[in-house]
Every structure is written in structure tokens, then in C-alpha cells.
Structure 1
Amino acid sequence: MSTNTSLEKRLALVEAAIAELQKQMAVPQPTNWLQQITGSFKDEPAFEEVLAYGRAIRQGDETLLEVQDKL
């Protein structure tokens, strides 16, 4: 008889844990901010220019920056 009682208690604990996990899964998880903005600038003409500036800075190409300063 005590085996059944013990088994019933364990089953009740498992069911409670499953219910808690289901509740946690129902709450929407925050998404990565980078995934939210990825691709949002693809049709923006200035974005390509920004990428070119970043590339020039990383590669040490100061000429692109100097041309912009003269404009």
C-alpha cells in the first residue's frame, strides 16, 4: 500500500512540474535584438554608404573618409 502512495505522490510532483513548465513556455520569450533588426535597413540607400565607411575604417583606408571631409 505504501508503494502506491509513494508512487502517487511522485506522479503528482511530476504533473505539477509539467504544469509549471507549460506555464513558462506559454510566456513569450524575448527575442534577440539583433534578430529583430536584421534586414531592416536593406532598402536604405545610406546603409551601403555606412557599410563602406566601416569597411574603410577597418581596412585603414583613410581616403574614403578624407573625400567625405572635403564635401
Structure 2
Amino acid sequence: MYGFISSSYGFWLGFSSFCFKANLRARAEWEDISTMLSTDLEIRLAALEAEVALLKRLLPTVSETPWWKKIIGTFADDPAYEEAMQFGQEYRQSLKPLAEEASESSNVSL
């Protein structure tokens, strides 16, 4: 009876040693994979940071003055601008009768 206990104890001792070694191997492999992943991630992050830096250099700097304030007065006393404004106004006026007719036809009682 005691022989069985001692032999089973030996088995469990060997098995636990095997599990411990397997755990160490798995942990070492995971550390290798983790190191490779973090290295790959660091390389990709560095590439992205370089790309963002390049894009920032290519973008124009934002000025304090809004664009529309910079062009105020550009067309002052320009006959072509006045003519374009006149054409635009005439076009908008020509659309009003069509809009009124459409609203009247939609209000017809059945």
C-alpha cells in the first residue's frame, strides 16, 4: 500500500515538474511573441508619427483672420462683379413665379 502512494507521489512530482517546465516554456514563448508584437507596434507607431509630421508640414498654417475678412472689398467698383450680381438677382426673381404656381397647384381643393 505504501508502495502505491510513493509511486503515485513520484508520478505527481514528475507531472508537476513537467507542467512547471511547460509553463516556463510557454511563458518564454509568450514573452518572445509579446516582444515581437511590441517591436512591430513601435515600428508602426514611428511610421505613423513620421507621416503625421509630414502632413503637418504640408498643411498651410491657420491664420487668425477668417478668409472672408481677407476678401472684403476685393470686388469693390468692379463692373463684372456688379453685372454678375444683377444676373443672379434676375435669375432668382425669375424663379419666384414658378414657386408661386407650384404652391397654388398644391393647395387646390379636391
- The normalised TM-score by structure 1 is 0.49
- The normalised TM-score by structure 2 is 0.36
The structure whose residues are more often helix, as a share, is: 2
